[in-house]
Structure formats: structure tokens, C-alpha cells
Amino acid sequence: MTSTGHPPTVTPPPDPGYGRTPPSAHMAVPLTIGAEEEFLLVDPVSRALRADAQRVVSDASRELGDRAGPEITRYQVETRTEPHTSLTEFADQVRSTRQALAHAAARQGLRIISTGTPVLAPPSPPQLTDGPRYARSAAMFRALDDEQIACACHIHVGVPDLATALRISNHLRPWIPLLIALSANSPYWAGRDTGYASWRTTLWGRWPVAGPPPFFASVSHFEDLVDGFLATDSIVDRGGLYWDIRPSHHMPTLEVRAADATATAEDTVLLAGIVKAMTAAALVAIDAGEPALRPPPELLRAACWHAARNGLAGDGIDLATGRLMPATTQLDGLLDRLQPALRQHGDAALVNGLWTAIRAHGSRAEGQRAAHSRRSCLTDVVDHLIATTLPNSVERAGRGPASTEHRGL
């Protein structure tokens, strides 16, 4: 992650509020990773959304404890992994957690799907989860909350302090478009093909504090921004910072939030492995005193839009040149520069193998469209998502071929 070939960087003046974690501290402690995954609940016969999150969470909690919980709407359920230093052990827990949730949903007569947005039209307005925070959000953001039946995959990386988290965020900012392209898995919204690979990214971009984070000059810069957002009712609380990368408000982690809900457990592992390697490379650069790349915010925003529209299936903006380049070529280049970090942490074989597989079969957004193209039937897309969320985990009883009344949905 060097600056070779990139636009000139802008280095902020030294700020005593930034602090500095000694390099030895960065190198001595293995990086921990964890994930939050969000799922939609659907009826296996009608394939429509079902507002039964409370029952599913209650059932799943018997096995997962507090690692299963509700989200903003009653159509969504969230799961969380524990922190892991081993990517292989992380992968095992992602799979077992999905399986536990899928079985809990099945016991309630439901299925889970992992996609960024609902395929079939949801009720409007959606049924929100009870609680004062969600009620305040609805009052503050109004119709924006009507579109928040959207699911993401959030990767957490352990950090020693806020100053380090902000420095890492600065180094990771230029790669947000590639994370969007890699994970794009939400082409459908409310019964129609949006023409985007990640419509969820576009929905989130409407919020007042969302998208790529600022380039932070210091801890005080970050705190002043947050205080200003709170003072002006631009966010509900510190958890309402919806940037694609943010310091967690309740855990000692940096949270990377750019990804759609990933279609498969393996996609989550790939995403986590890349984020972990990006963080490791950023720490090396920080310890070496290398400035973070700083593309113009306008160009970064445009690159995120291209990534959301095209995913892996087309071009994206190469922030080194400001020109279009195939997204897969850009990701090949990113993986090449991350190889030292991947090898250092023992993740190279797993991450490279997963990237080779997804590069060969294409983006998950195109997989959804391929499922639709066979019969022009949106319920087939839901069936495809049930199958890919956790293959062979739950007998797909009661679904079978879509009836003629669903054809064309």
C-alpha cells in the first residue's frame, strides 16, 4: 500500500492529540477480526418477508446467546462472531453461526437469506423493532427509515486506541470502492432490478453521515465532528455514524461497513481476510511514517458510485489515475500488494483461493440475475438466496417450483 503512481498525498500537520502507539505494540499483538452479519427472514412458500425477528432471535439465542439479536426492522436478524486471531477459526464460527440461525428460523417455519436488499416488495412503511432508539430514529429521519430493510456485513478489526483506529481509517479509505465491488449483492429492490450491483450502497448514501469517512487530521478532529453531529441532531447517537469505516462506539475495534450482506460464508471469510491484511499493511505504513493516500473526496465518492453500479462485472475508477479500469484487475492489484501481510498472518492460501473462486464465477449480484433469467421469476431469486446463504443446511420443504401466480414477480 505505497503511494507509487497515486495522486500526491496531503499530510496533515502534526497534532499532539493524535498520539502514537509504539511500533512494538503494533507488531507484538496479533490482529483480531470479527463480523456482524445481517439477514432477512422470508416465508419459504410465498418468499415474502416475515416480521418474526423476535421469535427467531429468541430461538437462536438458546445456542448463540447474545451473539444473535434484532435489527432496525422486524424482518431482520443480526449475528455476531467472537474475535479471532485465526482466519480459519473465524471461518468455522461464521459457518456454524449461520447454521444455528438457519435452524432457528426453520423451527419457526422461516428461512434466512443473506442479501443487501429485499427481492420482493416489502410492506411500506416497514415494521420497526420496538425500543426508544429506533423510535427516535424514525422521528428524526422519517422516510429514510422506510428504506432500511437493508443488510450489511461489518468486519471488526481490533485496535489499541482511537488514534490508531483513525490512522488506519485514513489508509483504508482509498480501498472502499473495491470492497463495495467485491461484496456487491443487492441488485433487486422491492420487486425490480435496479440496474445496480449494490443498491444497498446507494440507499445508505442518502443518510447525513454515511459513505466514505473524512480524512482525519487528529483525534480532536474526529471528536469535534461527532460533537457537531450530535449537537445538530444529524445522528441519533455515536452508533449513528454510518461511515463505511468508523471506530466502533462500544468495542475497541475499527469497523469496516462498506460491504453488502455476503451471499455465502466463504464470501464473509474472504472479506474479513482482505480487511485484516489491509489493516496489517496500514500498520506497517504507519510505523514507517508513510502518509496515507488521499484521493480527492469527490473522486472517491464517484468511485464508490461506480463500484455500486457495476460490482465486479464492469469498470471502476482507478484512484491512481482517475480513469476507468476493470474492477477485477484492480482487485488483482490490491491482492498482489497485500501478499506480504497475508503471508505474515498465515492467510495467503485461504484468501487467494477464495478470490480465485469468486473471480471465476463472477459477482453475487450477477448470480441473482442469473437465477431470475431462467424463468423471469423473482421468487427463483429468493430460492437461490436461501440455497447460497447456507447450502444444504435446511431442507427446502414447501418451496419447490414457483407456482404460476408467482411467475413474473
Domains of the chain are: 32-389 (3.30.590.20)
Instruction: Classify 304 as helix, strand or coil.
Output: helix
Instruction: Please tell me the distance from the alpha carbon of residue 26 to that of residue 203, in angstroms, as a whole number.
Output: 36
Element (H, E) at 138: helix 132-141
Cell of 190: 422491492
Instruction: Please tell me the distance from the alpha carbon of residue 188 to that of residue 47, in angstroms, as a whole number.
Output: 14
Burial, 130: exposed, middle or buried (Cβ in 10 Å; 0-12, 13-18, 19+)?
A: exposed
Q: Percent helix, strand and coil across the chain, each rounded to 5?
A: 45, 15, 40
DSSP string, 91-119: HHHHHHHHHHHHHHHHHTT-EEE--SS-S
Distances (CA, A) of 72 to 49, 175, 285: 14, 28, 38
Instruction: Please tell me the distance from the alpha carbon of residue 315 to that of residue 175, in angstroms, as a whole number.
Output: 15
Instruction: Classify 232 as helix, strand or coil.
Output: coil
Kindly give, in sequence order, each residue whose CB lies less than 8 Å from that of residue 184, ignoring residues fewer than 6 positions away: 116, 197, 198, 201, 260, 307, 308, 311, 312, 363, 364, 365
Kindly give, in sequence order, each residue whose CB lies less than 8 Å from that of residue 26, ignoring residues fewer than 6 positions away: 160, 164, 283, 286, 287
CA angle (98, 32, 261) in 5-degree steps? 35
pLDDT tens, per residue, the chain with 409 residues: 333 333 333 333 333 344 544 444 454 468 999 999 999 999 999 999 999 999 999 999 999 999 999 988 899 999 999 999 999 999 999 999 999 999 999 999 999 999 999 999 777 777 777 777 777 777 777 777 777 789 999 999 999 999 999 999 999 999 999 999 999 999 999 899 999 999 999 999 888 899 999 999 999 999 999 999 999 999 888 888 999 999 998 889 999 999 999 999 999 999 999 999 999 999 999 999 999 999 999 999 999 999 999 999 999 999 988 999 999 999 999 999 999 999 999 999 999 999 999 999 889 999 999 999 999 999 999 999 999 998 764 444 334 433 333 333 4
Residue 111: CB atoms within 10 A of its CB come to 28
